[in-house]
Amino acid sequence: MPRWERWEQFKRQIFARRRHAKPKIMSEAAVKSTTTTVVKSFASTNVKASSPSAAQAASGSRTTTKKFSHTSDYKQILNRLKVDFEKRYNNVKASTDGGLQDYDVLKTLGTGAFGVVKLIRKKNTEEYSALKILSKEKIVRHKQLQHTANEKRILQSVEFPFLVNMECCFKDNSFIYLVMPFVCGGEMFALLRKSKRFGEEQAKFYGAQVALAIEYLHHMNLIYRDLKPENILIDTKGYVKITDFGFCKLIRDRTWTLCGTPEYLAPEIIQSKGYGKSVDWWSFGILLYEMAAGYTPFYTSSSDHMVLFEKICKGKFRFPAGFGSDLKHLVQNILHADLTRRFGNLKNGANDIKQHVWFRGTNWIGLMNVEVPAPFIPKVSGPGDTSQFDVYDEQDLKVASKCMFIKEFADF
Ligand SMILES: Nc1ncnc2c1ncn2[C@@H]1O[C@H](COP(=O)(O)OP(=O)(O)OP(=O)(O)O)[C@@H](O)[C@H]1O
Ligand SMILES: [Mg+2]
């Protein structure tokens, strides 16, 4: 088989494995000690979610109309965002009185480990949203109650141009429902598969937004823990929206749970050391590499995770031809197993990455204000167009006649 054909086959395998096997790890067995997470129990204040405007929903965020000042100190901007975040975090929205009956359920957008995400339209309107449907039974069986509680609470508290957030939530006898703005441009994963790899300018455009999003999350004391192109959506303007807060968590210090996606796991997670925000910068390094190369740096054809984990811990990887020297330098300095050398994790925090020569000339505030032209605009015919998403077999939701796990989900 000619080399290029083997190469194509190799890449098809990677994508097929990642897409269909959903090789996600969430081992509670690996929890070594209680974490220092400050997750208070849900308050039962019945705050009704307000509906975002159709334009905001189409672009996938509540924040699209806010402008950030080019002259402000960025630390001050982050501090202000933190005050707002904490207000929302400490005033948790309970499930609304509304429910599935208020929406037309249209099409599956994606499937995940515990449920499915579907396009919905509010009845008698043209307002579309994405609905994440989580099975109570699966959450309990896989001991994911705390992760799901984190997901809901964080999703309703974050507000940043490159993050998806929550419009409202409700529950019924069998499921938990999280309503989010529908981001109609599809997953970065699909775009990368179609493009094979991104040119450096395109990778830089997305990478800068993801770096800002991680910096924001960390400033809120959140670790994200599941960065990968499947969780990065592209909006109508060609900008990034990160979804899936299933493993996101508020931390004060360190945490121990083995969770994430194997190819994106940092060595300190694999080695069951306590870990912190450094793991997100590691996965950011993997993402930069994957965007520019079309595959991840520690990829192995073996389906045995131990082979992959050994490679990650050894930390040896090679760059394909065509990788620019500045990008190489940045990725090398992020993918350090040694935490005292990993960019993002040093005294200067995210600034070591944002001020790296590869990002030279990046208009950071311009990006946050959606003022920078995007390298790619998804072709969508309207706010409910799902053509950028894979096609899935549609299955009807079977809601039990009796309410399941009442106690476990009392606070949702
Ligand atoms: N707001 C949204 N707009 C459009 N599509 C979305 C949205 N949120 C999620 N999706 C789609 O649904 C898929 C699954 O969602 P999500 O990642 O939140 O579920 P998950 O169960 O945590 O998945 P996994 O276990 O694979 O990480 C996403 O990869 C994406 O394709
Ligand atoms: Mg996901």
Q: Which residue, judged by its Cα, is nearest atom 27 of ligand 1? A: 112
Q: Is the pLDDT of residue 411 over 90?
A: no
Interval 166-208: pLDDT, tens: 999 999 999 999 999 999 999 999 999 999 999 999 999 999 9
> How confident is residue 117, by pLDDT bands cut at 50, 70 and 90?
very high
Nearest bound ligand to CA 59? Answer: 1
Please check if 354 is assigned to a binding site.
Answer: no
The response to whether residue 132 sits with its C-beta less than 6 Å from ligand 1 reads yes
Decide: residue 123, CB within 10 A, 0-12 exposed, 13-18 middle, 19+ buried. Answer: exposed
The response to whether residue 212 sits with its C-beta less than 6 Å from ligand 1 reads no
Average pLDDT over residues 226-246: 97
Residue 368's pLDDT is 97
Q: Is the pLDDT of residue 61 over 90?
A: no
275: DSSP letter: B
Nearest bound ligand to CA 392? Answer: 1
Residue 9's pLDDT is 54
Q: Is the pLDDT of residue 57 over 60?
A: no
Q: Range with the lowest mean pLDDT among 7-21, 32-46, 226-240? A: 32-46
* 3-class state of residue 9 by DSSP: helix
Q: Which residue, judged by its Cα, is nearest atom 12 of ligand 1? A: 110
The response to whether residue 404 sits with its C-beta less than 6 Å from ligand 1 reads no
> How confident is residue 53, by pLDDT bands cut at 50, 70 and 90?
very low
Per the model's pLDDT, the better-predicted residue between 39 and 303 turns out to be 303
Per the model's pLDDT, the better-predicted residue between 91 and 352 turns out to be 352
- Selecting among 172, 226, 235, 352, the annotated active-site residue is 226
For residue 186, how far is its CA from the centre of ligand 1 (angstroms)?
10
Closest atom, ligand 1, to C-alpha of 243: 8
Q: Is the pLDDT of residue 215 over 60?
A: yes
Nearest bound ligand to CA 246? Answer: 1
Average pLDDT over residues 376-399: 94
Residue 235 is a catalytic residue: no
Q: Determine contact, residues 288/331, Cβ cutoff 8 Å.
A: yes
Q: In whole numbers, what is the pLDDT of the chain averaged over residues? A: 86
For residue 256, how far is its CA from the centre of ligand 2 (angstroms)?
20
Q: Distance between CA 95 and CA 46 in Å, rounded?
A: 7
Q: Distance between CA 225 and CA 248 in Å, rounded?
A: 6
pTM value? 0.88
Per the model's pLDDT, the better-predicted residue between 172 and 95 turns out to be 172
